[in-house]
Amino acid sequence: MLENLTFYLILVIITVLLVMLAKKIKVAYPVLLVLAGLGISFIPGTPKIHIEPELIFFIFLPPLLYEAAWATSWKELWRWRRIVVSFAFVVVFITSLVVAFVANHFIPGFSLALGFLLGGIVSPPDAVSAGAILKFVKIPKRYSSILEGESLLNDASSLIIFRFAMIAVATGQFIWQEAALSFLWMCIGGAGIGILVGIFFMKMHRLLPTDANIDIVLTLVTPFLMYLVAEELHASGVLAVVCGGLLLSNRSHSFLATSSRLGTLNVWSSLVFLLNGIVFMMIGLDLPQIVSGLETDLSTAFGYGVLITVILIITRIVAAYGAVFTTMIMRNFITVADRQNPGWKGPALIGWTGMRGVVSLAAALSIPLTLQDGTPFPHRNLILFITFVVILLTLVVQGLTLPFLIRKFKIQDPDFTRSEKEIDYEIRNELAKIGVKRIRDTHFEKLEKFPALQDQLQTWENRVNSSEVILNFPEYREIYLDIINQQREWLISKNREEILLDEEIIRKHLKMLDLQEEKLGMH
């Protein structure tokens, strides 16, 4: 590790440069990073990269999932819970089943158990890749919410399938009763452990005399502990991190101080950026190792990879239209089903966002070299190569064409008829009204004492969001903080009450209030 330290530092610099280039040319950065890693791997003298699956599962996966859960709107997740759960569990299972039968039929020596193993590996779409695209290409909020929610949960379901398939390959048998009980424990136990650990950390933040730095360190420790405890108890570490992250994110304003929230946001943003960059670069760099152990002819193996990729894309698109068809039927029987017909463009868009990535490679690499009796694991290197081809093709083909499809479809947002600027203007006005009302009702007698308070009152009355003049009076800061807290409560309440209100706008205003509070120097 240390002898290649210079090489790793160069990789970090290259990663940063490529991400900037990706933003410039409006291409999802995972695409460029994988291709760059692939290109670097062919340079003579390049150190061989060996990716330990434990490294990805424990070092990379928990913080990446935790940050994704933290950034996900619980309101949106709950609103689209049916389609999210169906894609994260039902579609992943169906995809694994289809891959199993195709592999069993077309790939010589592939049993159904091995096919399920491959299906569990390649079935979950990668959250990072889709997220990187959606950041610079605008799509209706409902579709981005569905994709975000699905990406949080599908890793858990695919890894559960992978685990059961591994047992079937190793033992040559599959006991449905035991598998069902194990599946229930992994799901319920994983979610429960994540919530319990999350509550434990909430108590720590509230009861201990922490500051911003300590709070940030605790948030860094949290996902690893969630994952470790769940895995030690044979539950789903992925679900533990996701559920715990969603809980803490939804309650963050109740146990984290302003400075802690702002600091945590900045630290986590930088950390996840670095981890994502390194992981995708390492995917490309790992190709020589994968090819070196390949026993099948390279062109034949590549053909198998193309076949599985096509099957994955077709299955997901069919599943997307199947979900629409099911919703159209179910809305006649239940009132909570979406009443609007999304047309053919929405399902096509959902179906095309199936890029594979980090979890698939980690799962493939975690396959042991030998079975329990010491015999080589059947077709291990071929499974690794097919997984790599699937990741490469979906990232490059779908990753590069998805922005074009989004622009071509021009899908109208059926939920948000008003522009962001209109909603933004309305919220600014309401916050100003709350500030004015709070001053006149509670702090009116202090106006003569604090000229700055008079200025702030005038500012809010003029509906201008400005708090440039901050005086160093403790009592004034307390008054101003009281007003900010009142505004913050209103924002949180409005977000809960209005289901169609874009939470991103609310979060922006909450952050602005945090920044205003930070100016006051209140800790």
For residue range 347-399, list pLDDT tens digits in order. 888 888 888 887 888 888 888 878 777 788 888 889 989 998 998 899 888 88
| Structure tokens that stand for 371 in this block | 């079975």
Q: Which fold has domain 2-409?
A: Na+/H+ antiporter like fold (1.20.1530)
Give me the phi and psi of 413, to 5 degrees please. Answer: -80, 115
Residue 351: its H or E element:
helix 345-352
Confidence of residue 137 (pLDDT cuts 50, 70, 90): low
Q: How far apart are CA 359 and CA 484, in angstroms?
A: 42
Residue 291 backbone dihedrals phi, psi, to 5 degrees: -65, -35
Query: Is residue 509 a contact partner of residue 490, using CB atoms and an 8 Å limit?
Result: no
Q: What are phi and psi of 302, to 5 degrees?
A: -65, -40
Which of the residue ranges 117-121, 235-239, 254-258, 462-466 would you say has the lowest mean pLDDT? 462-466
Q: Look up tokens 């790599």; give the residue.
A: 388
Percent residues over pLDDT 70 in the chain? 89
Contact 226, 198 (CB under 8 A): yes
Residue extents of the structural domains in the chain: 2-409, 420-519
210, pLDDT greater than 90: no
Which residues, listed in sequence order, are joined to residue 376 by a DSSP beta bridge? 370
Computed over every residue of the chain, the mean pLDDT equals 82
pLDDT band at 46 (very low <50, low <70, confident <90, very high): confident
Q: What pLDDT, on the 0 to 100 scale, is given for residue 2?
A: 58
Of 16, 49, 22, 54, the residue nearest 282 (C-alpha):
49
What number is the average pLDDT over the span 103-124? 90
62 conformational bin, left if phi > 0, alpha if psi -120 to 50, beta if neither: alpha
* pTM (2 d.p.): 0.78
Say which residues have a Cβ less than 8 Å from residue 281's Cβ, sequence separation at least 6.
Answer: 11, 14, 15, 33, 34, 36, 37
Q: Residue 445: how many CB atoms within 10 A of its CB?
A: 7
Give residue for tokens 């003579």.
44
Compute the distance between CA of residue 123 and CA of residue 356 in angstroms, rounded to an integer: 8
- Among the residues of 286-297, which ranges form H helices? 287-292
The CA distance from 35 to 448, in Å, is 65
Distance CA 176, CA 441 (A): 66
pLDDT in tens, 430-484: 888 888 888 888 888 887 788 878 877 777 777 644 444 444 457 777 888 888 8
